[in-house]
Amino acid sequence: MSDSVSNDDSGLRRRRLITRAGVLVVWVAGVILAIRFGGVPGLWDSAVQWSYPLREVVLEIAKITVISLGLYDFLRPQPDSSSLGRTAKALGVVFVTLVWVTMFSATDQPGYAYVTGNYVLLLTGVLLIALLSHVAVAWFHAIRSRHR
Write out the DSSP string of 81-92.
S-HHHHHHHHHH
Q: What is the DSSP-derived secondary structure letter of residue 45?
A: -
Asked if 38 contacts 119 with a C-beta cutoff of 8 angstroms, the reply is no
CA distances from 25 to 30, 68, 91, 137 (A): 9, 10, 18, 24
Q: What is the mean pLDDT of residues 129-142?
A: 88
User: What span, in angstroms and rounded, lies between the C-alpha atoms of 61 and 112?
Assistant: 10
Q: Which of 20 and 148 is assigned the larger pLDDT?
A: 20
The Cα 93–Cα 102 span in angstroms is: 14
Q: 45-49, 93-97, 106-110, 112-116 — which is least confidently predicted? A: 45-49
Residue 79 is predicted with a pLDDT of 64
**pLDDT category of residue 32 using cuts at 50, 70 and 90:** very high
Cα gap 80→44, rounded to integer Å: 53
- Inter-residue contact 97 to 120 (CB < 8 Å): yes
* Better-predicted residue by pLDDT, 148 or 21: 21
**pLDDT reported for residue 2:** 52
pLDDT band at 3 (very low <50, low <70, confident <90, very high): low
Whether 86 and 115 have beta carbons less than 8 Å apart is answered as no
Length of the chain: 148
**Which letter does DSSP use for residue 47 in this model?**
T
